[in-house]
């Protein structure tokens, strides 16, 4: 009995997927619920398990094929029998006795020839080209060139010839009318740079089809530029107090919660407080209506080998610092291991993007539609600033808030970022909910 393998339901608004790779080959034994094929959707990758224990008898769609929900991927035979058994290959016995012919060939091959070939019957004349050499007579030769055709040599060529005592008369130039070029001399001296390893491996150019995830990222980013009135406002935050708080409490925090106290929990808390104060930044436009979200699902960007994904930290306003750190760590690991589900990526109301982990000093983050705001974090750099009339060195981070100007006015965006800055510079405010 053969069981069909069908494309499962892929989640909201997803109707098709691409076959990333088959994990099993035709004829392989499979166990029930064992992953046998990996599908790539617009948002996540998922594995399709075998419905029964048996033999994978058919692969209907090859790697790279686009398949719709419910379409046939292949078949598994429950009893282990192939749905299309191969014809038995019969052994064909020879009808002619070829043994005498084989013996004759062997005798002929073993019999030495009557005459041994005389390889060196006559000495051939070999014209040896005189090797290219460096000579001490170059100074005299150069003087001769200087008198006759120095106009044919560029200053760079003449300099190399003089410095390296090169016999220019022995060089066949690659320029017009045999003119010696700088590259000819560099080739002679072995000074030409080698091509890159990537060029050697893949050639002058390489063409690779975009993954569905990368296609979706490109499409959504373009939609954000076309459909929203994008604007970015900037500020800077002194991270001194947060650094000191983390230093003073890191050991106790780890001992109690088994996780490090990072920066993201402070930023999530600061953003939630500011979003409650400026609800338009936690809203979205749908048609001619504004939808205000009274819940705070914070999306955060995670870089993976396959591209950027933006999973969601749900109900961030109800989470403690430790719960925020644990959830972010768990979700980030799922993203890097390719275990995110559709639900992990849906329902965000505001996004935080941390380019600082890659060394970014400043950027203008782009909206994660249909959201109306995204906060860009950057690296922390010690810079001189004025504090109480004195120049001091402080750890400074630049902040960038990109927003949809259709729904968020400049006053609200600037005030929002200023409030985030204040709560980060004095993190005690976060515990007082002010």
* Catalytic residue ranges: 405, 409
Residue 326 CB-density burial (10 A; 0-12 exposed, 13-18 middle, 19+ buried): middle
Nearest to 50 by CA among 60, 67, 37, 39: 37
Whether residue 295 contacts residue 275, with contact meaning beta carbons closer than 8 Å, is answered with no
Alpha helices (runs of H) in 240-314, residue ranges in sequence order: 240-257, 264-277
* DSSP per residue, 126-160: --PPPPP-B-TTHHHHHHHHHHHTGGGS-HHHHHH
Nearest to 419 by CA among 408, 402, 433, 405: 433
How many beta carbons lie within 10 A of that of residue 205, not counting itself?
A: 6
Alpha helices (runs of H) in 121-239, residue ranges in sequence order: 138-148, 155-164, 182-189, 197-202, 212-227
For residues 77 and 51, what is the distance between their CA atoms, to the nearest angstrom? Answer: 10
**Residues making up the chain, counted from first to last:** 434
Q: How far is CA 109 from CA 117, 119, 420, in A?
A: 17, 21, 92
Whether residue 180 contacts residue 188, with contact meaning beta carbons closer than 8 Å, is answered with no
For residues 297 and 315, what is the distance between their CA atoms, to the nearest angstrom? Answer: 5
């Amino acid at each position: 009995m053969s069981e069909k393998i069908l494309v499962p339901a892929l989640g909201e608004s997803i109707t098709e997927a691409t076959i990333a790779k088959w994990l099993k080959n035709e004829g392989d034994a499979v166990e029930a619920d064992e992953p046998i094929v990996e599908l790539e959707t617009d948002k996540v990758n998922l594995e399709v398990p075998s419905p029964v224990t048996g033999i994978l008898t058919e692969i209907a769609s090859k790697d790279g094929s686009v398949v719709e929900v419910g379409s046939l991927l292949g078949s598994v035979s429950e009893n282990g029998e192939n749905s299309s058994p191969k014809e038995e290959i019969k052994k064909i016995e020879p009808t002619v006795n070829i043994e005498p012919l084989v013996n004759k060939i062997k005798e002929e091959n073993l019999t030495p020839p009557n005459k041994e070939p005389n390889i060196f019957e006559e000495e051939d004349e070999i014209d040896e080209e005189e090797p290219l050499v460096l000579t001490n007579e170059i100074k005299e030769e150069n003087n001769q060139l200087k008198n006759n055709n120095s106009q044919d040599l560029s200053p760079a060529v003449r300099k190399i010839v003089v410095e390296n005592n090169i016999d220019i008369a022995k060089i066949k130039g690659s320029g017009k009318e045999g003119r010696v070029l700088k590259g000819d001399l560099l080739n002679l001296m072995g000074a030409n740079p080698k091509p890159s390893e990537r060029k050697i491996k893949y050639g002058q150019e390489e063409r690779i089809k975009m993954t569905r995830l990368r296609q979706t990222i490109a499409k959504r980013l373009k939609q954000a530029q076309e459909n929203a009135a994008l604007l970015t406002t900037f500020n800077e935050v002194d991270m001194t107090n947060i650094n000191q708080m983390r230093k003073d409490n890191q050991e106790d925090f780890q001992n109690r919660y088994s996780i490090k106290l990072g920066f993201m929990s402070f930023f999530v808390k600061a953003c939630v407080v500011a979003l409650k104060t400026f609800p338009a930044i936690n809203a979205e436009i749908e048609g001619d209506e504004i939808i205000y979200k009274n819940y705070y699902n914070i999306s955060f960007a995670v870089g993976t080998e396959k591209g950027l994904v933006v999973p969601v930290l749900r109900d961030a306003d109800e989470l403690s610092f430790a719960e925020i750190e644990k959830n972010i760590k768990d979700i980030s690991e799922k993203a890097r291991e390719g275990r995110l589900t559709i639900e992990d990526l849906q329902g965000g109301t505001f996004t935080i993007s941390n380019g600082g982990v890659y060394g970014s000093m400043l950027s203008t983050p782009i909206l994660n539609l249909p959201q109306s705001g995204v906060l860009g974090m950057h690296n922390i750099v010690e810079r001189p600033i004025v504090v109480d009339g004195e120049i001091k060195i402080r750890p400074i981070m630049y902040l960038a808030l990109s927003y949809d100007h259709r729904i968020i006015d400049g006053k609200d965006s600037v005030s929002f970022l200023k409030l985030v800055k204040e709560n980060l510079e004095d993190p005690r405010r976060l515990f007082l909910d002010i």
